[in-house]
Amino acid sequence: MESDQPPQAAMEAVTADLLHLGFLEIRFLTAPLLDAHSADALDRRRERANMIADLCHQLPGLLAPQRRDQLADGLRYLWRTATATKRQWLRSRWDHLNYDHRWLTEAATERPTPKGKTANADPPSPPIESGAN
């Protein structure tokens, strides 16, 4: 466990709560619309429900007894690979749950590399070309 990482029990509890909130929101978003709502509103709701499902789909597996030791790494990967919209949703739900997510959200932003290691999220600088050949 890294020094700034919360206790395992706290990560497990907030992950279960995050799933609970995600399922509730998906249920709300997929409920039948009133006649007054447009087809565009239905499309927006479906897109949001799909976004939440995309964020949450790997979390149950990380709570499995044989994988719980990988939860912190799984949450880091989830955060690093999330779009700005997904990050906003995660932050807002963690804030709602009074979860101190700074160990994820304020950490240096990294992106996964093909070999599973991490690299700085900033793209490499372009090579400097000399004017004379």
In contact, 110 and 80? CB cutoff 8 Å: yes
What's the Cα-to-Cα distance from 113 to each of 77, 104, 116, rounded to whole Å? Answer: 11, 18, 5
Note the pLDDT tens digit of each residue in 47-72: 999 999 999 999 999 999 999 999 99
Q: Residue 20 and residue 14: Cα distance in Å, rounded?
A: 10
In this prediction, residue 66 carries a pLDDT of 94
Q: Is the pTM of this model over 0.85?
A: no
Note the pLDDT tens digit of each residue in 83-132: 999 999 999 999 999 999 999 998 755 444 444 444 444 333 333 444 44
